[in-house]
Amino acid sequence: MRVEVQAEPFVPGEQLSKFHADRIDAGALVSFSGIVRSDKLDPVNMLEIEHYPGMTERAIRAIVDEAVERWQLIDCLVIHRHGQLFPGDHIMMVATLARHRGAAFAAAEFLMDFLKSRAPFWKKEFTAQGQRWVDSRQEDEAAIDRWSG
């Protein structure tokens, strides 16, 4: 269960290859990676991600532990960058390894929903118009609720 909080870039494909040791009891491998997106009409030149060093890894580990227990994951990976990122850069990734595909998909979506609004990261966009903090969205909170059923 590897968790990395880092300023350095990473390549999701390389991480995926490293992550998947050949476990013969695993049937399903899911990965997600989030990319810095820029719109043509309102280009983002840079994305700065602030985090809370004392808390970040602890918060992510708590989310990972819950996912592993809930879906009996065989393995789980979370990488999240902080610092200055540029359009096309990978912000973060998760990978889940499970016996069946339903569990691997659900766990990856669960991890994303919780990383989005329960891990102490804050994004600031730098555009031609200036700087702006990215607002949290109501649907991100709603996404959390769907897992409490």
Partner 1 sequence: MKQVEVKYFAWVRERIGLSGELVSTDADTVRELVVELRAREQRYELAFSDLASLRVAVNHTLRDLDTAIEDGAEVAFFPPMTGG
- Residue 36 CA to residue 47 CA, distance in Å, equals 7
Decide if residue 118 touches a copy of itself (CB under 8 A).
Answer: no
Contact between 105 and 135 under an 8 Å Cβ cutoff? The reply is no
Please report, as residue ranges, which positions from 76 to 105 form the binding site for a copy of itself (by CB under 8 A). 87-88, 99, 101, 104-105
Q: Pick what 78 binds: partner 1, a copy of itself, none; C-beta below 5 to 8 Å, kind-dependent.
A: none
Cβ proximity to a copy of itself: between 37 and 70 the closer is 37
| Residue among 46, 52, 56, 112 that touches a copy of itself (CB under 8 A) | 112
CB of 91 to a copy of itself, least distance (A): 9
CB of 120 to partner 1, least distance (A): 6
Please report, as residue ranges, which positions from 44 to 63 form the binding site for a copy of itself (by CB under 8 A). none
Cβ proximity to a copy of itself: between 54 and 128 the closer is 128
